[in-house]
């Protein structure tokens, strides 16, 4: 197969180059016209997960919970005539920007005025007269700052912090070009800093857009860095500008293909997806190194360039394909996570890794077939004194110091195991931002003065429309809000209860002392006021009732924010919160459940306790039993005792169960914070699963290649040790397990096993050529592949290390940990693997290992050069090149 492939490549150079150029043009089109930026942040859950379904249900009823951009200022001079006018001016200008739905600040609030004649409330804007004739600045401040509704929602009077809340249309935020409206708004705000001092920006629109812009900028920086670093290393290794340029040609085309494929698949450029183009450079260069090293060895051996290129394709192509395949399989296991973003990442990464192989196996032979023979100085790296000495030291250790190798390896494993026990799992919405980052500082500022910054929502289903404004309903919601208020994790909450309190306060002339639930004696008088207010869309200074109550779904919303604590902490908090909320909303639930169980067990007196102790349950039960028949319902009303006749009927327990359930308030805890927390835990579990699949799949592939499970086990050992070392370091240096760091293991394992395949492929070839001189085979394989393994490992080390320059902590950790893992993997593959082969050589040299399914390094006879006619302009005989 590879013999035939070499002939196809070298005979059809012009055709292949044309096809590559056409494909590159197509991918360039998709990269420039179809590629979109994904600035959705924190939601990694699959669509069918319960938490995601709850969140989507919430959004369908109340809209985005994270669509508010926040400006925060800290100024004791806001309530001066000039500054307050400027605060209003800024809000008015922001509101006129396309994409802005509403602006709420202290400068555009309204108050409810009691129109006693028409029995309704009228809204009056507090600050209209910018000349301060109608109201002085002190009167305005008193009206606003004494209103309990706005306290700790729009301002913190004790610390002189004031907020401006800007609602941004989601269609603008999700559009890469329109999303810049957030930056335009913030740029406008910055022009007012001389009036108010530093303006802090927060809210998910700010985080999404700024981080999205960083992702795009970092991708271009990493592409440039990857090319620069690998070019420098290539020049140091090969001492040839031509080699550097040709290798860069391969990876630059690979970058275009990777970006184009993202657009072609219709995927978006996320923080993960942006790693793929620079990864193609880092992974593609080792392909070039293996091919070029073999090419130079062949040229140095016999001096025939075309024969050398043919042997490169035949002898190295298969092994290089297998190493790329194992790397692709390592990335493809992300498909098993069931997370949309990781599935997309796995698909694009694995496909492009295989395309990088295709590019390197065609472009390098074609270009070098057209170029002059390598000069003698270009071949000196094969006998480099320093790298040769290093390989000699590895050979010495393997030959003479295997006990020391095993002892040192055991100590490293033991130390790593101790470190692994100290690993912690965490993750929060801003966890990947480094300390001192402006985004993090602004979020912390909001959290310091308002306690929470990340949306946290509770939906309460009151089931029957008539229960919405029932005092018992309002009191339960109020008690729930009081519970949140006592917990320092949460900001002040906002719900229907606050509107009811504001209405009561307005009825009594906006007296703050009357900010409380409506007394029973006032409910009759306030009913017409309330009905009129419900029909009004004005609400209270931008806060509308429809944002807090979905009457079509009989659901009300309690809106608040939570501190950006770790995902596992949020999950634990939610688990402990649910029984508390249930006890507040359904105080009789445990007793009713107990009575119902007793009734099911045959103690019918407990049905009396339920039905005659709770009128609502009795009414619901008789309604269900009567099936809507008015006469039957009348019988129950006239003689309640008739219900006992139904106790023994087969379906009565189901009717009673339904009647009881209908009395419960169902509630759902959701919001961006909850979804992000659930997503982090979900990914950590599934990424561990993907690592397991990577190990299994690659093990099966290696068993297929070598037909010896003993060899599979031996080959996995040097690739497990680096993973253990990395995990141990994470424990010692308190690097937590989270989605960005768990990626390290699957990626590193898929790449590090490449060296193992190259080494074992050469080892098996030597077994055939050396009449089973086992000791000599191992050492020969070490000397032959050691140089390439060293070169590629150094390239991978420095290539991944560039990610440590990222502004995102997760990407930094990914770069550092993968670099470290691959460096350790190089050492274990050059020392531990040969040592194991030498120590266990008799047990490993089975017949199945001698007879593989197919050769990785094919030793077929070279094709006759006279028969190899390369079609190109100006010549027909390839030897003339």
Whole-number Å distance between alpha carbons of 511 and 527: 19
Side-chain-side CA neighbours of residue 82 (13 Å)? 5
- The model's pLDDT over 644-685, given as tens digits with 9 standing for 90+, comes to 888 888 789 888 888 888 889 999 999 888 888 887 777 777
Q: Are 844 and 837 in contact (CB under 8 A)?
A: yes
Annotated domain spans of the chain: 1-33+217-382, 589-664
Least confident segment among 289-298, 308-317, 444-453, 836-845: 836-845
Average pLDDT, the chain: 83
- The model's pLDDT over 243-286, given as tens digits with 9 standing for 90+, comes to 899 999 999 999 999 999 999 998 988 877 888 998 898 888 88
Q: Which fold has domain 1-33+217-382?
A: Multidrug efflux transporter AcrB transmembrane fold (1.20.1640)
Whole-number Å distance between alpha carbons of 581 and 604: 31
**Pick from 315, 242, 314, 256: nearest CA to 284:** 256
Calculate mean pLDDT across residues 75-83: 93
**Pick from 86, 79, 69: nearest CA to 191:** 86
- The model's pLDDT over 423-481, given as tens digits with 9 standing for 90+, comes to 877 766 676 777 788 888 998 999 999 988 888 999 999 988 888 888 889 999 999 99
CB atoms closer than 10 angstroms to residue 651:
10
**Pick from 124, 121, 149, 150: nearest CA to 135:** 124
Whole-number Å distance between alpha carbons of 826 and 722: 9
Whole-number Å distance between alpha carbons of 453 and 447: 6
- The model's pLDDT over 543-595, given as tens digits with 9 standing for 90+, comes to 677 888 888 889 999 999 998 887 788 888 999 999 999 999 999 888 888 88
pTM over cut 0.85: no
Give the dihedral sign, CA 106/107/108/114. Answer: positive
233 pLDDT exceeds 90? Answer: no
Using DSSP bridges, classify how beta strands 268-269 and 36-37 pair: parallel, antiparallel or unpaired: parallel
Whole-number Å distance between alpha carbons of 378 and 859: 26
Q: Which two tokens stand for residue 147?
A: 């209103």
For the chain, percent of residues with pLDDT exceeding 70:
90
The band of 411, judged by pLDDT with boundaries at 50, 70 and 90, is: very high
Would you put residue 602 in left (φ > 0), alpha (ψ -120 to 50) or beta?
left
Whole-number Å distance between alpha carbons of 813 and 782: 32
Calculate mean pLDDT across residues 11-37: 92
Whole-number Å distance between alpha carbons of 459 and 670: 8
Query: Which ranges of 510-629 does DSSP label H, i.e. alpha helix?
Result: 520-535, 567-585, 589-600, 605-611, 615-626
Predicted pLDDT of residue 84: 95
The band of 755, judged by pLDDT with boundaries at 50, 70 and 90, is: confident
Predicted pLDDT of residue 534: 58
Give the dihedral sign, CA 213/216/218/220. Answer: negative
Q: Are 258 and 348 in contact (CB under 8 A)?
A: yes
Would you put residue 709 in left (φ > 0), alpha (ψ -120 to 50) or beta?
alpha
Residue given tokens 């069918």 in the structure block: 48
Surface-to-core class of residue 67, CB atoms within 10 Å of its CB (0-12 exposed, 13-18 middle, 19+ buried)? buried
The set of residues, in sequence order, having a beta carbon less than 8 Å from that of 4 and lying 6+ positions away, is: none
Query: Which phi and psi (to 5°) does residue 425 adopt?
Result: -110, 130
User: 3-state class of 869 per DSSP?
Assistant: strand
Residue 200 parent element (H or E): strand 199-202
The set of residues, in sequence order, having a beta carbon less than 8 Å from that of 71 and lying 6+ positions away, is: 90, 163, 164, 166, 189, 199, 200, 201
Whole-number Å distance between alpha carbons of 637 and 633: 6
Buried-state track 515-533, b at ≥16 Cβ within 10 A, e below 16: bebbeeeeeeebeebbeeb
**Pick from 334, 347, 418, 275: nearest CA to 692:** 334
**Pick from 44, 164, 38, 49: nearest CA to 100:** 164
């Amino acid at each position: 197969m590879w013999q035939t492939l070499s002939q196809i490549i070298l005979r059809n150079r012009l055709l292949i180059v044309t096809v590559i150029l056409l494909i590159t043009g197509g991918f360039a089109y998709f990269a420039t016209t179809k590629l979109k930026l994904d600035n959705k942040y924190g939601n990694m859950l699959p669509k069918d997960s319960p938490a995601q379904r709850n969140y989507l249900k919430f959004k369908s009823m109340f809209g985005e919970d994270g669509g508010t951009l926040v400006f925060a200022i800290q100024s004791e001079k806001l309530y001066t005539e000039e500054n307050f006018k400027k605060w209003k001016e800024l809000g008015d200008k922001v509101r006129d920007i396309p994409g802005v739905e509403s602006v709420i600040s202290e400068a555009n609030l309204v108050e409810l005025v009691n129109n006693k004649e028409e029995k309704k409330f009228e809204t009056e804007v507090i600050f209209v007269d910018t000349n301060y004739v109608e109201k002085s600045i002190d009167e305005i401040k008193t009206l606003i700052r004494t209103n309990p509704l706005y306290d700790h929602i729009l301002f913190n009077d004790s610390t002189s912090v004031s907020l401006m809340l800007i609602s941004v249309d989601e269609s603008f935020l999700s559009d890469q070009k329109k999303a810049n409206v957030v930056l335009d708004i913030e740029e406008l705000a910055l022009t007012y800093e001389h009036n108010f001092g530093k303006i802090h920006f927060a809210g998910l629109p700010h985080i999404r857009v700024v981080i999205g812009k960083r992702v795009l900028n970092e991708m271009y920086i990493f592409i440039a860095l990857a090319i620069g670093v690998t070019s420098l290393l290539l020049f140091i290794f090969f001492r040839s500008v031509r080699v550097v340029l040709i290798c860069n040609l391969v990876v630059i085309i690979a970058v275009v293909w990777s970006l184009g494929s993202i657009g072609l698949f219709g995927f978006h450029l996320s923080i993960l997806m942006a790693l793929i183009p620079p990864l193609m450079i880092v992974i593609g260069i080792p392909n070039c190194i293996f091919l070029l090293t073999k090419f130079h060895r062949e040229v140095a051996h016999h001096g025939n360039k075309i024969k050398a290129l043919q042997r490169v394709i035949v002898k190295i192509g298969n092994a290089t394909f297998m190493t790329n395949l194992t790397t692709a399989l390592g990335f493809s296991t992300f498909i098993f996570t069931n997370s949309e973003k990781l599935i997309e990442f796995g698909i694009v990464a694995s496909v492009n890794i295989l395309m990088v192989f295709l590019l390197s196996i065609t472009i390098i032979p074609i270009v070098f077939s057209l170029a002059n023979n390598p000069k003698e100085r270009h071949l000196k790296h094969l006998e480099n004194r320093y790298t040769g000495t290093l390989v000699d030291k590895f050979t010495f250790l393997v030959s003479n110091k295997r006990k020391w190798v095993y002892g040192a390896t055991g100590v490293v494993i033991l130390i790593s195991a101790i470190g692994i026990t100290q690993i912690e799992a965490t993750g929060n919405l801003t966890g990947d931002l480094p300390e001192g980052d402006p985004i993090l500082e602004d979020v912390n500022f909001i959290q310091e003065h308002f306690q929470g910054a990340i949306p946290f929502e509770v939906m309460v289903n009151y089931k029957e429309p008539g229960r919405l404004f029932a005092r018992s309903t309002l009191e339960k919601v109020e008690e729930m809000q009081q519970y949140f208020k006592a917990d320092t994790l949460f900001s002040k909450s906002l719900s229907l209860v606050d509107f009811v309190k504001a209405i009561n306060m307005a009825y009594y002339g906006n007296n703050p002392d009357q900010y409380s639930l409506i007394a029973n004696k006032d409910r009759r008088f306030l009913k017409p006021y309330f009905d009129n207010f419900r029909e009004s869309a004005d609400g209270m200074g931008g806060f509308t009732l429809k944002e807090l109550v979905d009457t079509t779904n009989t659901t009300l919303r309690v809106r608040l924010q939570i501190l950006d604590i770790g995902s596992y902490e949020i999950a634990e908090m939610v688990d402990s919160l649910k029984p508390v909320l249930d006890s507040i909303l359904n105080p009789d639930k445990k007793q009713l459940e107990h009575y119902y169980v007793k009734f099911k067990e045959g103690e019918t007196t407990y049905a009396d306790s339920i039905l005659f102790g709770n009128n609502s349950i009795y009414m619901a039960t008789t309604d269900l039993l009567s099936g809507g028949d008015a006469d039957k319902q009348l019988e129950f009303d006239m003689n309640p005792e008739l219900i006992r006749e139904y106790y023994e009927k087969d379906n009565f327990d189901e009717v009673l169960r339904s009647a009881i359930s209908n009395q419960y308030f169902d509630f759902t805890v959701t919001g961006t914070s909850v979804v992000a927390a659930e997503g982090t835990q979900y990914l950590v579990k599934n990424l561990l699963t993907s690592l397991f699949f990577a190990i299994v799949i690659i093990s099966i592939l290696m068993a297929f290649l070598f037909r010896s499970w003993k060899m599979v086990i031996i080959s996995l050992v040097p690739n497990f040790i680096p993973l253990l070392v990395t995990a141990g370091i994470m424990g010692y240096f308190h690097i937590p397990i989270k989605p960005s760091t768990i990626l390290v293991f699957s990626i590193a394992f898929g790449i590090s096993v490449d060296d193992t395949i190259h080494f074992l492929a050469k080892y098996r070839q030597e077994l055939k050529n050396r009449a089973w001189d086992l000791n000599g085979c191992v050492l020969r394989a070490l000397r032959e592949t050691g140089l390439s393994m060293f070169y590629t490992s150094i390239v991978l080390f420095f290539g991944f290390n560039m990610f440590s320059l990222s502004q995102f902590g997760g990407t930094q950790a990914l770069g550092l940990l993968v670099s470290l893992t691959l460096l350790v993997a190089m050492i274990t593959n050059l020392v531990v693997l040969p040592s194991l082969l030498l120590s266990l050589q008799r047990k490993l040299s089975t017949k199945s290992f001698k007879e593989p399914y197919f050769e990785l390094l094919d030793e077929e006879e070279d094709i006759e050069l006279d028969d190899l006619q390369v079609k190109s302009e100006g010549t027909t005989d390839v030897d003339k090149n």
